[in-house]
Structure 1
Amino acid sequence: MKKVIAKRLLNAIPLLFMISIIAFLLIKMAPGDPVRSFVTPDMNPDDVERIRKSLGLDKPVHIQYFLWLQNILTGNFGYSIVSKRPVLEMIVERLPATMGLMGASLIVSLILAIPIGLYTAVKKNSLFDKFANFLSYIGISIPIFWFALMLIYLFSLKWNLLPSMGMRTVGVSSTWDVMKHGILPCSVLAFQNISVYMRYIRSSTIRQLDEDYVQIQYAYGATRDRILFHHVLRNVLLPIITIIGLSIPSLVGGAFITETVFSWPGLGLLGVTSIFSFDYPVIMAITLFSSIMLVIGNLVADILYSVVDPRIRLRG
């Protein structure tokens, strides 16, 4: 297993390298000029050129990229053009908020999707199954930002039950206050994941219930719940692990939208703010960190494969 992990990490190096090249070129081709953040109406052209030279923007694009890559490999992510703070410090400061929101939404998704998917498979074509499928179609279809705005309108503006923005109330530092602020953004991310996971669990469970080992367990007198949670669930988890690994990119992208709508102080909000202000060092660093999160997520999915299915571990 250690060899497999080491191999996957080595394969991730050229992948991250290509991502960094594409992201750097896209940023350079985007309209806008980061120097305009420093320009004032009474500044003469010579001063503007000196600022451009100090930022290294007067060099060819490939030279700029390799200078940036050299700094990254030494742990220097540069300084934000707008806030003048170290980029790494800004990312480390906001990373826990994003990881907490994504982790909470993923846990909630699995806790709800697994029993609902199993029960709808057992009660196939029942009223509950049809209602759950209807909700899953809605969850897959509706845009994340629209659903977020609807939750803000209902729970914050109309019913005044939950806060609509931020991570903390000013002057309050309790854990419950953070949880209360995270309910709406977590619900937005979890609803779409629950819809996807539930449908895969339902279809996989229906296939497993037709297998011979299920009928043998019934013949031995095993109860339905024991068969579902001790035998069927273990085989159902394998495709779910694959879906989780594939859904991590959409989870990261959804976190960017959700954090922006709810003003959640994570990497997503920082990234969107940096894009509008042409803060190139921050944009590149967030792109790189997001790519690393995706690679780690897929690696964790591979490790979970061997945990759930011993046959994979033995072949490894």
Structure 2
Amino acid sequence: MRRLIVRRLLQTIPMLFFVSLVCFALVKAAPGDPVLSFVTPNMHADDIERVRHNLGLDKPGYVQYGIWLKESLSGNLGYSLINHLPVMKQIVERLPATAGLMGSAIALAVLLAIPLGLLAGANRNKWIDKLVNLFAYVGISVPLFWLAILFVYFFSIKMHWLPSMGMHTIGKESAIDVIKHGILPCSVLAISFLSTYVRYIRSSTISQLKEDYVQIQYAFGSGKRTILFRHVMKHVLLPIITLLGMSMGELVTGAIVTETVFSWPGIGSLGMTAVRGMDYPVILGITLFSSVMLILGNLLADILYGFADPRIKTTR
């Protein structure tokens, strides 16, 4: 296991280098000029060039990339062009809000997807399977922003049950207030994750019920529920581990659209603000940070495979 971890960590070096190179090239190729954020109507052309020189944007692209990469390796992701604050500081400050929201949504989706997927797969083509499939198809097809707007309209505007935006009520800093503000965005994200997870678990359950060990358990007199939740569930956890590993990147970036609709002060809304203001250092910092989390999530998934299925062993 130690060799696996070391080998995977070494493999992340060229991967991160490639990701950083592609992201930097795409950002530089994007239309717009970040210097325009500092330009005033009466500013002279020489002053504009002086601003460009101070930002280091008058150097060739490969030189800018080398400088940015060198600083990033030391933990310095640069400074925002909009508020002039360190990029890493802004990411760290907003990380708890996004991680809490996304973590709650993913945990809720997994807790609901496992029993629903198992029941749907065990009762294939029956009414419960059709109902779960209908819910999954609707959840996958409906855009998140439209679902978020519907939730705001019904639960905030019409029924006045829950707040529609923000993370805190002005003058309140209690945990209950944060939970109330997080119910709607968490529910929207959980529905999105749940729809995907249920489909994977259902498909895996159907294939596992055809295996020989299931027939052996029936021969030993085990009931359907015992086989389903004691034996089959261990095997259907493998695709869920993969999906959870891939979701690590989303724990950083969050659902940008959902955070924007609900004005949730997370990294997703920070990224949206950076895109609108052509704040290239923030965009690059968020992209690089989320890539690191995604790679670490895949590494964690590989490690968890061995615990979920002892038959999976690490070989030379």
Global fold match (TM > 0.5) = yes
User: How far apart are the structure 2 equivalents of 1:246 and 1:173?
Assistant: 33
**Matched residue, 1:120:** 120
**Which residue is 1:259 aligned to?**
259
Whether 1:209 and 2:209 are equivalent positions in the alignment is yes
SS of residue in 2 equivalent to 1:310: coil
The within-5 A match list for 1:125-144 is 125-144=125-144
Matched, 1:276 2:276: yes
Q: Within 5 A, what are the aligned runs for 1:63-102? A: 63-102=63-102
Distance 2:238 2:77 in 1: 38
* Percent sequence identity over aligned pairs: 58
| Alpha-carbon distance in 1 for matches of 2:247, 2:77 | 28
Amino acid at match of 2:194: I
1:189·1:254 contact (CA, 8 Å) conserved in 2? Answer: no
State the aligned residue count.
316
The aligned counterpart of 2:110 is 110
Under a length normalisation based on structure 2, what TM-score does the superposition of the two structures give? 0.94
Cα distance in 2 between the residues matched to 1:213 and 1:222: 11
How far has the Cα of 1:245 moved from its partner?
Answer: 3.5
Aligned mates of 2:282, 2:261 — CA distance in 1: 20
User: What amino acid sits opposite 1:44 in the alignment?
Assistant: H
Partner Cα separation in structure 1 for residue 239 and residue 76 of structure 2: 40
What is the alpha-carbon distance in structure 2 between the residues aligned to residue 104 and residue 172 of structure 1? 22
Q: Which residue of 2 aligns with 1:305?
A: 305
AA partner of residue 125 (structure 1): N
AA partner of residue 236 (structure 2):
V
Mapped contact 2:250–2:290 kept (Cα < 8 A): no
Letter in 1 for 2:199: R
Residue 105 of structure 1 deviates from its aligned partner by 1.2
Report Cα offsets for 1:156-205 as digits up to 9, x if no partner.
11111111111111111111111111111111221122111112211211
Pairwise CA distance, 1:206: 1.9
Match runs of 1:285-300 below 5 Å: 285-300=285-300
8 A Cα contact 1:217 1:227, kept in partner? yes
> For residues 250 and 145 of structure 1, what CA distance do their matches in structure 2 show?
17
What is the SS of the residue equivalent to 1:100? helix
Structure 1 stretch displaced more, 115-124 or 267-276: 115-124
AA aligned opposite 2:210? D
Query: SS where residue 165 of structure 1 aligns?
Result: coil
Task: Measure the CA separation in 1 of the matches of 2:199 and 2:126.
Answer: 15
Match for 2:113: what amino acid? A
Query: Is the CA contact (8 Å cut-off) linking 1:144 and 1:254 kept in structure 2?
Result: no
Rounded Cα–Cα distance in structure 2 between residues aligned with 1:191 and 1:254: 15
Deviation at 1:120, TM superposition (A): 1.5
- Rounded to whole Å, the distance in 2 between the matches of 1:235 and 1:74 is 42
Distance 1:185 1:153 in 2: 13
CA distance in 2, matches of 1:210, 1:79: 57
Q: How far apart are residue 268 of structure 1 and its match?
A: 0.6
Consecutive unaligned residues in structure 2, runs of 5 or more:
none
Q: Could you say which residue in structure 2 is the equivalent of 1:169?
A: 169
Counterpart check, 1:195 vs 2:195:
yes
My pick for the range that moved more, 299-308 or 121-130, is 121-130
Cα gap change, 1:253 to 1:92, in 2 (>3 Å):
closer
CA 1:234 to 1:193, structure 2 compared with 1: closer, same or farther past 3 Å? same
CA–CA separation in structure 2 for the residues paired with 1:195 and 1:250: 16
Q: Secondary structure at the match of 1:291?
A: helix
CA shift, 1:94, in A, is 0.5
SS in 1 for 2:312: helix
- 1:210-254: CA deviation from partner (whole Å, max 9, x where unpaired): 222222223323233222121111111123323333455677666
Mapped contact 1:307–1:313 kept (Cα < 8 A): no
Change (3 A) 1:95 1:7: same
Deviates more, 1:105-114 or 1:224-233: 224-233
Structure 1 CA distance for aligned equivalents of residues 32 and 314 of structure 2: 54
TM-score for both structures, normalised by structure 1: 0.94
Tell me if the contact between 2:148 and 2:185 (Cα under 8 Å) persists in the aligned partners: yes
- Alignment correspondent of 1:222: 222
CA–CA distance in 2 between the matches of 1:27 and 1:210?
Answer: 50
Task: Show CA shifts across 1:40-65 (max 9, x none).
Answer: 22221111111110100111111011
Relative to 1, partners in 2 of residues 1:250 and 1:282: Cα closer, same or farther, differing over 3 Å? closer
**What SS does structure 1 have at the residue aligned with 2:82?**
coil
